[in-house]
Amino acid sequence: MEVNGPVTPVMLSFIERGIEEAEGQGAEALVIMLNTPGGDVELTRKIIETIIGSNVPVAVYVAPRGAFAASAGTFITLAGHVAAMAPATSIGAASPVSGQGEEIPETLRDKISNILQAEIEGLAQRRGEKAVEWAREAVSEARAATAEEALELGVIDFIANDLDDLLRQMDGFSVTLHDRQEVTLQTADAATAELPMTPIEQFLHTITNPNIAFILLTLGINGILFELSSPGGYAAGVVGVICLLLAFYSLGVLDVNYTGLLFIALAFILFVIDIKAPTHGVLTVGGIVSFILGSLLLFNSPFYAVSRSLVIGVGLGTGAFFAFVVAKAVLVQRRPATTGAEGLVGALATARTDLSPTGTVYLKGEWWEAEADETPIEAGEQVRVKSVDGFRVRVTRK
């Protein structure tokens, strides 16, 4: 089974299902091809418990080339009955980080670090002193290792070019299951069966991609703002709420920096204010800057972040749209009124009686009392409205 992306509830349920199916089919072993930047500590602990408690040997294989088992991925790899890596992969950097973007106070950081060191030492214990020392430093000093270094330290059991190579090397390897039962693997000629994610698992896993989460957040806020600005259609509001709920699910799973969220919220507030009280684009420019900064700060982990090109593209696109709306709002405000008394100023009317200087005119389908600035104006002549005073208009010759 291939397990990619951050540690999420979907990953946990997928691994649990994989182990259940492997046990049910009497599999010789379950191979988890892992590529993860890490994630939530509690979810990681549950995954470790699931792997350790498996009745089927579990091999955690960091693959393909270029993959990594960072942070929580280090713990998951060490929890496997067999640990392996493909060439050009890496493991480590398991130091604790805050989920809110701020620095962890030193005392609290020491407590968390000590707990995690104890846990990772327990997982690495059977691999020798060098592996234990490296695992301890992976937490305390964010130490990382290449596949070759990990093999030399005893952190992993094999370096395998692909799955077939791994199965060949695993053949004859002895592992101890949770009930202290020793099992010798026979995998050289074993048939393999891939376990894919279900459509629902795949969907939920896809939206936890930081880029997808960012797009959903942007679409959600835009949809709700459009609905509030022109209520009645409901479509934009419904789509906006759905996107926002999916975004909240993704952000709840990922390691989010709430300062970034505040910057994004500020950006949309500035956009809306600039529409309601146009400042000739000043607030829109500020909104674009705030949006881009917030998007770049949105996720804490150095291993997963929103694409910079996507951030800049969406930021400029959103800013350009709101700038267009602001420009139209300014244009409408400058346009002469077309309704009410103000809408009559400048309109043409026809004198129905001689204006000397008072009389009546026919204006936009209505009879109006009129007073002329210039006299005499004969009946039938066209005049232009200069001002409106109650039910009387002041006119001048066209």
Looking at this protein, which amino acid is placed at residue 261?
Answer: L
Q: How far apart are CA 393 and CA 385, in angstroms?
A: 7
Helix 258-276 vs helix 282-296: crossing angle, to nearest 10: 160
Beta-strand ranges (E) seen in the chain are 2-4, 30-35, 58-62, 68-70, 82-85, 90-92, 144-146, 158-159, 174-176, 182-184, 348-351, 358-363, 366-372, 382-389, 392-397
* 8 Å CB contact between 311 and 296: yes
* 8 Å CB contact between 94 and 69: no
Q: CA dihedral defined by 139, 142, 145, 146, rounded to 10 degrees? A: 130
Q: Is the alpha carbon torsion for 372, 377, 379, 382 positive or negative?
A: negative
Q: How far apart are CA 210 and CA 227, in angstroms?
A: 26
Q: Cis link prior to 105 (omega < 30° from 0)? A: no
Helix 210-229 vs helix 308-334: crossing angle, to nearest 10: 10
The catalytic residue among 54, 71, 295, 301 is 71
Enclosing H/E stretch for 334: helix 308-334
Identify the bridge partners of residue 145 per DSSP, sorted by sequence position.
91
* 8 Å CB contact between 217 and 244: yes
**250 belongs to the catalytic site:** no
**71 belongs to the catalytic site:** yes
HEC profile of 225-270 = HHHHHCCCCCHHHHHHHHHHHHHHHHHHHCCECHHHHHHHHHHHHH
Interior CA angle at 264 toward 259 and 266, to 5°?
95
Identify the bridge partners of residue 377 per DSSP, sorted by sequence position.
355
* 8 Å CB contact between 267 and 295: no
The catalytic residue among 46, 54, 90, 111 is 111
Joined tokens for residue 284: 């829109």
Q: How far apart are CA 92 and CA 72, in angstroms?
A: 9
Q: Which residues are catalytic?
A: 71, 111
